Structure formats: structure tokens, C-alpha cells
């Protein structure tokens, strides 16, 4: 076989892989089956954000947790049963919220077009729409046509969702496991420009980093002192702090300049400065327009992880239980 035709075949293989990996998602999948679907998601999401400014952070993180465990298949929404401890009840689920909003949207969609719109698509769309409210425009494209999975296991959430104590090697590996690049890792970490973190996810950096009652030297000392005044002791697992102090309700690119001042909250944030390639991408994201564009593209890739399409899975009737 000639070199050229070999390369051609190789490209075909990659194309085919691309198809299995979310290529079957489409723009406006519900155009004929439920034309009002995207509008209904947007309206109910906007209504809820209007009374709960913390919601975009909840829905964005929910989408991330959904996609990293079994693909974006709505498995994060399933309740545990007598037989099964679901993702929701895994340790990294702490403070996952917004389930009531997903249910409100689903209830309306089931009235308008029963059995058509997947819970997985609702999660992807409402994450986008909630972040978009402050801009009054659609911030990134969400392809649709995901179907819902039937399995949700707490153990898988523990294994697949990166821990805030991870170093760069582990983070890169955990994203690579989902076919995401170092660029995706850095760009998507910028989601920490909104929302809050519980003290117990970074307390070790304030009080006992190496077991000698010391602080993490890679954490800004001034900032560490501020954090110690909020998180009073090592066992505090109830207090939360803003991840992007002062603008934790605003989606902007502050995460990156803050990171450069060594004020990333988690070890997993600080870790992005420990690798040359990642650090270079952090520098690029100091431009806010660049960040918004890249964030949309990485969200699209994240939203395609392991999706079920065609006849796979099901369209759940109620998002918290399999049919």
C-alpha cells in the first residue's frame, strides 16, 4: 500500500472514531420532534437564574460531572436505589445542586412533547443557558441528540472525577482518559471563575501541607492568610469561599490572572502552573476574548464525551429514575 493511501485510510479511521465520539450529535436535533425544546430550556433556566445567581456554577459543574462519568448521559441525575449507590451519592457530589431546575424543565418538556427530549441534553443546554444569562446571548453552541444512560455508580464518580488534590500528571491523565487535551484541561479549569469551594478541599494548603504545620509554598502567602480567616481549622467542612474572590457570580477570565498571582484555590488549580505547556496556555487565557472562544470550543468537546445516540440508551421519563 502506498504511503498516501495509508495516510488516507488512517484519516478515515480517525473520522470514524470521531463519529462514535459524539459525531452524531447535531445542531437543533429537536427541530421537528420538539421545536420548542431549546426555547423551553432557555426560558426556565433564565427564570431560575433571575432568583438564584449561584445557579450557573451549579449547572456548569453538574454538566462536567455528568460527562466525566459514563459520558454525557444524564447519569449524574439518577437517584440511588435499594440496590445501587448512584453517582449523586459519591463523595465528589458534595454540593452538586440544581437538580430541581432540571426536573422543572423536564416536567414542562414532557407536557409539551412527551418522551422526546433527553435529560442529558437538558443538562448540556441548561449549563450553557445559565452561564449565558449575564451576557444576554448564547455563549457557545450545544449540539443535541444525546440519549440517557441507565446506569449510575458512585464508585465510577470517585474514579473518574479528578480530585482537587491532584497534581498535573494526574489531571492530564484524567482528561486524556476522556479524549481531552491539556488545552481543554486549562481552558475548562477557567470554569472556576464562578462558584464556591468548601474549606476541606484546600485546608491542607493553609495549615498542614507537609505534616509540619506548614502552608503550601505555592500558595500566595497573603492570600493564604485571608483564607485562614475564613476557614478556621483543618476539620471545617461546612464553610465555603468564593473561588474567584469578588466576582464569583460573574463569568469572566479572572481565574487566569488570579492563578498567576498564585491564588488558585485548589492544588489542582495551582498545578496548571507546574507544566510549561499548561502555563503557556494559562498565559494565552489572560486575554478575555480568547478565553471565551476557547471555552466554547472545549465545552463542545466535553459535551461530546461518550454520548449515547441513535437507539442507544433511552429518553428517560423522569430524570432521577431509569424508565
Ligand X SMILES: *[C@@H]1O[C@H](CO)[C@@H](O)[C@H](O)[C@H]1NC(C)=O
- Residues near ligand X (CB under 6 A): 81-83, 88-89, 93, 96, 136, 167, 169-170, 173-174, 177, 208, 211, 213, 220, 222-223, 232-239, 261-262
65 among known catalytic residues: yes
User: Given the rule CB under 6 A, which of 12-20, 28-36, 188-196, 278-286 is the region that contacts ligand HEM?
Assistant: 188-196
Query: Terminal CA-to-CA distance of the chain, rounded, Å?
Result: 50
Q: Is residue 303 close enough to count as binding ligand HEM by CB under 6 A? A: no
Our finding on whether 264 is near ligand HEM (CB under 6 A) is: no
**Which of ligand X, ligand HEM, none binds 194 (CB below 5-8 Å, type-dependent)?**
ligand HEM
CA-nearest of 79, 64, 22, 91 to 188 is: 64
- Give how many residues touch ligand HEM by CB under 6 A: 25
Which one among 29, 30, 168, 201 touches ligand HEM, defined by CB under 6 A? 201
132-137: long-range contacts, CB 8 A cutoff, minimum separation 24: 133/45, 133/46, 133/49, 133/50, 133/56, 134/56, 134/250, 134/251, 135/251
| Neighbour count for residue 197 (Cβ, 10 Å) | 21
Q: Which conformational region is residue 138 in: left (phi greater than 0), alpha (psi within -120 to 50 degrees), or beta?
A: beta
250 binds, among ligand X, ligand HEM, none (CB under 5 to 8 A by kind): none
Q: Find out whether 175 and 282 touch, Cβ atoms under 8 Å.
A: no
Distance CA 64, CA 52 (A): 20
- Of 63, 65, 192, 254, the catalytic one is 65
232 binds ligand HEM (CB under 6 A): no
Binding-site partner at residue 93 among ligand X, ligand HEM, none, CB < 5 to 8 Å by type: ligand X
> What whole-number distance in Å separates Cα of residue 286 and Cα of residue 281?
9
Nearer to ligand X, 24 or 52 (CB): 52
Separation in Å, CA 207 to CA 52, 70, 259: 33, 36, 20
Least Å from the CB of residue 57 to ligand HEM = 3
Is 196 a binding residue for ligand HEM by CB under 6 A? The answer is yes
Least Å from the CB of residue 304 to ligand X? 18
Residue spans of alpha helices (H) in 1-118: 3-18, 37-51, 55-68, 99-112
d(CA 5, CA 8): 5
- Report the residue number whose CB is nearest to ligand X: 211
- Of the pair 36, 85, the CB lying nearest ligand X is at 85
132 interacts with, out of ligand X, ligand HEM, none, CB within 5 to 8 A per kind: none
Determine the Cα–Cα distance for residues 22 and 304; give it in Å rounded to an integer: 5
Q: Contact between 147 and ligand HEM (CB under 6 A)? A: no
The site partner of 192 among ligand X, ligand HEM, none (C-beta below 5 to 8 Å per kind) is: ligand HEM
Q: Which does 60 bind (CB under 5 to 8 A by kind): ligand HEM, ligand X, none?
A: ligand HEM
Q: How many Cα atoms within 13 Å fall on the side-chain side of residue 93?
A: 24
Would you name the residues annotated as active-site residues?
65
**Positions that interact with ligand HEM (CB under 6 A):** 57-58, 60-61, 64, 94-95, 162-164, 166, 171, 185, 188-189, 191-192, 194-198, 201, 266, 268
Amino acid at each position: 500500500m502506498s504511503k498516501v493511501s495509508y495516510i488516507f485510510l488512517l484519516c478515515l479511521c480517525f473520522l470514524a472514531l470521531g463519529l462514535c465520539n459524539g459525531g452524531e450529535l447535531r445542531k437543533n436535533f429537536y427541530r421537528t420532534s420538539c421545536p420548542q425544546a431549546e426555547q423551553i430550556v432557555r426560558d426556565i433556566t433564565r427564570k431560575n437564574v433571575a432568583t438564584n445567581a449561584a445557579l450557573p456554577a451549579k449547572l456548569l459543574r453538574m454538566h462536567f460531572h455528568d460527562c466525566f462519568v459514563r459520558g454525557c448521559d444524564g447519569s449524574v441525575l439518577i437517584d440511588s436505589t435499594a440496590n445501587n449507590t448512584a453517582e449523586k451519592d459519591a463523595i465528589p457530589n458534595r454540593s452538586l445542586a440544581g437538580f430541581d431546575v432540571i426536573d422543572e424543565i423536564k416536567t414542562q418538556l414532557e407536557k409539551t412533547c412527551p418522551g422526546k427530549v433527553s435529560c442529558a441534553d437538558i443538562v448540556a443546554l441548561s449549563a450553557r443557558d445559565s452561564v449565558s444569562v449575564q451576557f444576554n446571548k448564547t455563549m457557545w453552541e450545544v449540539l443535541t441528540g444525546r440519549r440517557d444512560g441507565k446506569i449510575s455508580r458512585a464508585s465510577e464518580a470517585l474514579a473518574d472525577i479528578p480530585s482537587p488534590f491532584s497534581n498535573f500528571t494526574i489531571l492530564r491523565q484524567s482528561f486524556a482518559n476522556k479524549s481531552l487535551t491539556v488545552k481543554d484541561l486549562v481552558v475548562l479549569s477557567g470554569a472556576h471563575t464562578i462558584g464556591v469551594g468548601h474549606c476541606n478541599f484546600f485546608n491542607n494548603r493553609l495549615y498542614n501541607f507537609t505534616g509540619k504545620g506548614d502552608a503550601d509554598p505555592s500558595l500566595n502567602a497573603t492570600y493564604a492568610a485571608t483564607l485562614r480567616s475564613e476557614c478556621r481549622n483543618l476539620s471545617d467542612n461546612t464553610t465555603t469561599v468564593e473561588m474567584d474572590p469578588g466576582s464569583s457570580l460573574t463569568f469572566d477570565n479572572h481565574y487566569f490572572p488570579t492563578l498567576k498571582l498564585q491564588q488558585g484555590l485548589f492544588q489542582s488549580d495551582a498545578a496548571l502552573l507546574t507544566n510549561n505547556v499548561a502555563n503557556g496556555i494559562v498565559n494565552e487565557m489572560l486575554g478575555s476574548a480568547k478565553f471565551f472562544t476557547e471555552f466554547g470550543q472545549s465545552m463542545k468537546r466535553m459535551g461530546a464525551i461518550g454520548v449515547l445516540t441513535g437507539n442507544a440508551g433511552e429518553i428517560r421519563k423522569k430524570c432521577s429514575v431509569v424508565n
